[in-house]
């Protein structure tokens, strides 16, 4: 049977049986992969410790006819703060859930892999809500379903000052086109600048990360509504954030 090595982040885990886990990896080489990690919940297992969400690992996987199996794994980086701090856990889960729900298996997406590995240290040390929103915003940009935040989706003019925005039409609407647009809502200049700053963020850990609280909350609510409208269902991590964080 073919065995191959991947570098990956652990996107999701689901326990089954006495000590096993189905692990969803986002790999550098093949994009999203699911594999079984048998016995990994036993402390003596060579996989013990590595098969945890948010770990950055290197793993050996054997291809199976129905399911792949993780044989061995080494932890390259782990982020303790993400499992110990409820707010960090909640927002890191939000970013990881969005990536998991909006990617297809076995499609290599190097940009997404790099986004996940770069966002983890920022999520574990800086404001996790801001880090998760930046990550989600940048991920949507690479996934090809991003809203147009800076140009009017009707006349393509660059947006200046306050305008409107429409989820149905796919982004910003200038005041001249507002009558032609469907289901618009206000899109203040400050909210546009918040999105533009997030899209331009370069993930250096020393960079300034401050946003006006009101605009940040508006960006969060707006963005989550947009993602959920694409998915057609709610995100579990959003429920968790609403129940325990906000």
Q: Which of 62, 67, 37 is nearest to 51 (CA)?
A: 37
Shortest Å distance, C-beta 122 to Zn ion: 35
CB of 164 to Zn ion, least distance (A): 10
Contact between 140 and Zn ion by CB under 5 A: the answer reads: no
Q: Shortest distance, CB of residue 163 to Zn ion, whole angstroms?
A: 8
Return the closest-CA partner of residue 219 out of 181, 177, 165.
165
* Contact present, 106 and 32 (Cβ < 8 Å): yes
Q: Strands (DSSP E) along 82-234, which ranges? A: 163-166, 171-173, 185-187
Name the minimum Å distance from CB 161 to Zn ion: 13
Q: Is 153 in the site for Zn ion (CB under 5 A)?
A: no
Distances (CA, A) of 95 to 35, 52, 92, 112, 220: 21, 16, 5, 11, 12
- List Cβ neighbours of 196 (8 Å cut-off, separation of 6 or more): 149, 150
Residue 160 binds to Zn ion (criterion: CB under 5 A): no
* Residue among 155, 160, 168, 231 that touches Zn ion (CB under 5 A): 155
154 contacts Zn ion (rule: CB under 5 A)? yes
Q: Which of 177, 216, 219, 227 binds Zn ion (CB under 5 A)?
A: 177
Residue placing its CB nearer to Zn ion in the complex, 110 or 180: 180
Does residue 165 touch Zn ion according to CB under 5 A? no
> Which residue, 25 or 174, has its beta carbon nearer to Zn ion?
174
Burial classification of residue 40, based on how many CB atoms lie within 10 Å of its CB (0-12 exposed, 13-18 middle, 19 or more buried): buried
Return residues touching Zn ion (CB under 5 A): 152, 154-155, 174, 177
């Amino acid at each position: 049977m073919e065995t191959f090595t991947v570098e990956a982040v652990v996107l999701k885990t689901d326990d089954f049986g006495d000590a096993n886990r189905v692990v969803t990896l986002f790999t550098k080489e093949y994009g999203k992969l699911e594999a079984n990690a048998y016995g990994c919940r036993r402390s003596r297992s060579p996989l013990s410790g590595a098969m945890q969400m948010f770990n950055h690992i290197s793993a050996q996987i054997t291809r199976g006819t129905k399911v792949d199996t993780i044989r061995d794994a080494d932890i390259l980086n782990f982020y303790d703060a993400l499992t110990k701090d409820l707010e960090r856990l909640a927002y890191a889960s939000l970013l990881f859930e969005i990536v998991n729900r909006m990617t297809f298996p076995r499609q290599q997406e190097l940009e997404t892999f790099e986004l996940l590995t770069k966002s983890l240290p920022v999520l574990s040390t800086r404001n996790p809500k801001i880090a998760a929103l930046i990550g989600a915003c940048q991920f949507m940009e690479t996934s090809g379903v991003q809203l147009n935040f800076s140009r009017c989706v009707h006349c393509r003019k660059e947006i200046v000052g306050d305008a409107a925005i429409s989820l149905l039409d796919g982004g910003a609407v200038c005041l001249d086109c507002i009558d032609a647009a469907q289901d618009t809502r206000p899109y203040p200049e400050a909210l546009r600048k918040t999105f533009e700053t997030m899209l331009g963020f370069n993930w250096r850990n020393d960079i300034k990360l401050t946003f006006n609280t009101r605009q940040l909350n508006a960006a969060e609510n707006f963005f989550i509504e947009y993602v959920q409208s694409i998915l057609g269902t709610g995100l579990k991590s959003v429920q968790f954030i609403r129940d325990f964080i906000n």
